[in-house]
């Protein structure tokens, strides 16, 4: 699969690790004022579709869970990419490099 943010390419698991390490900012974790709850938001860099989910964790202990939240959120992004942008993320025969 191709990384939707940069030129990186690799297997799904490797790409997942790459996203967490290099593109952590792709997942926004914040307090939604309207909901009064912590949420994470995953936006697809290809089509800008976003998925927002509320978190049960409190802000105080959030730091501990950030990594975990990102793992889950990027997993959602990968599913989204496979479902909606198959042509972009597949390792194609027409390699540009
Ligand atoms: Zn990347
Ligand atoms: Zn998308």
> Could you read off the pLDDT of 24-80 as tens digits, one per residue?
999 999 888 898 888 999 999 999 999 999 988 666 677 778 888 999 999 999 999
Does the residue 46 lie in any domain? yes
Would the pLDDT of 93 be above 60?
A: no
Q: Which domain holds residue 80?
A: 12-89
Q: What is the pLDDT of residues 9-23, one digit of tens each?
A: 999 999 999 999 999
Does the residue 1 lie in any domain? no
Q: How many domains does the chain have?
A: 1
Between the CA of 35 and the centroid of ligand 1 the distance, in Å, is 32
Q: Beta strand 37-43 with 50-54: parallel, antiparallel or unpaired? A: antiparallel
Between the CA of 71 and the centroid of ligand 2 the distance, in Å, is 18
Does the residue 36 lie in any domain? yes
Does the residue 75 lie in any domain? yes
Between the CA of 23 and the centroid of ligand 2 the distance, in Å, is 16
Between the CA of 92 and the centroid of ligand 1 the distance, in Å, is 17
Instruction: Assign 3-class secondary structure to 27-88.
Output: EEEEEECCCCEEEEEEECCCCCCEEEEECCCCHHHHHHHHHHHHHHHHHHHHHHHHHHCHHH
């Amino acid at each position: 699969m191709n990384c939707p943010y940069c030129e990186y390419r690799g297997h799904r698991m490797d790409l997942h690790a790459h996203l967490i390490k290099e593109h952590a900012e792709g997942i926004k974790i914040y307090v939604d004022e309207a909901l009064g709850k912590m949420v994470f938001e995953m936006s697809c860099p290809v089509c800008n579709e976003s998925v927002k989910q509320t978190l049960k964790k409190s802000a105080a202990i959030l730091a501990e869970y950030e990594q975990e939240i990102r793992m889950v959120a990027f997993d959602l992004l990968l599913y989204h990419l496979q479902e909606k942008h198959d042509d972009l993320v597949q390792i194609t025969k027409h390699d540009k490099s």
